Amino acid sequence: MLLQYIREKDREVLPHLKNVVCTETQSPQKIINLELTFSENEWFTNEKLTLKVTFKKDQDDEIEESEGCLIDWKDGKDLSKKKIKKKQKNKKTGETRTIVKSVPAESFFNAFESRKAPETKDDDGDEDE
């Protein structure tokens, strides 16, 4: 399921993956727990990365929420961010400077961010009809 999200830059970390444990429960709704164990590496200090995915009741293919762990990235090694350089011109002096900004990047490790599915509005509550 997660293999489709692995990017070229993520592949360097994967040789450090020592163990994968995946458990699934069905009561009262489907929950998948994923635990990845890594050897010491140059990217992050975590030994284990965990992800809990809860699916909507009676809908095993729709995710209600995912609860990931915080990845403790080492300085300059965060694969979920990329640095871009922008030139900025001062309006008063006309001087140009270059600033470096971090922006989100596509990465397998983004899967470990906690997220909730957007709320959907129910049409059952309309009393105007």
- Write down the pLDDT at residue 68: 95
Using one digit for the tens of pLDDT, what is the confidence trace for 29-77? Answer: 999 999 999 999 999 999 999 999 999 988 778 899 999 999 999 999 9
- The percentage of the chain sitting over the pLDDT mark of 90, rounded to a whole number, equals 54
> For residues 37 and 68, is the Cβ–Cβ distance under 8 A?
no
- Write down the pLDDT at residue 120: 65
- Can you state the percent helix, strand and coil of the chain, rounding each to 5? 15, 40, 45
> For residues 96 and 88, is the Cβ–Cβ distance under 8 A?
yes
pTM listed for this prediction: 0.77
Distances (CA, A) of 76 to 29, 37, 79, 80, 90: 39, 22, 9, 11, 28
The set of residues, in sequence order, having a beta carbon less than 8 Å from that of 59 and lying 6+ positions away, is: none
Confidence band, pLDDT 50/70/90 cuts, at residue 129: very low
Angle among Cα 116, 119, 120 to the nearest 5 degrees reads: 140
> For residues 66 and 52, is the Cβ–Cβ distance under 8 A?
yes
Using one digit for the tens of pLDDT, what is the confidence trace for 4-34? Answer: 788 999 999 999 999 999 999 987 899 999 9
